[in-house]
Amino acid sequence: MTQETVEDARGLLCPLPVIRLAARIDREASGTVVLLLADDPAAEEDVRLWCRGHGHELLDAAREGRESRIRVRKAV
C-alpha cells in the first residue's frame, strides 16, 4: 500500500508552496504520495514544472473553489 502524507501550503504565495512540497518530499521514502493543499493560483503549474525538473510524478490536480489539491509521488 502506498503511503500518503499531506502538506498544507494554504495561505502561502509562489514560490512557497513548491518550497514546502520539496522539503516534504525530501523527508519521505521513495514512492510516497504527497497531497499538497494550496490556494495560490500558480501552484498547480509550479508543481507541474518542478516535478518535470526533479523526476517526481504529478498524479493529479483538482481545483475546488480557490483551493488546489495536488498529488505528487516521490521518485523511486
Active site residues: 14
Phi, psi dihedrals of residue 42, rounded to the nearest 5°: -90, -5
Half-sphere exposure of 14 (CA within 13 A, CB side): 9
Write the CA distances from 55 to 11, 25, 52, 69, 76, integer angstroms: 27, 12, 6, 20, 9
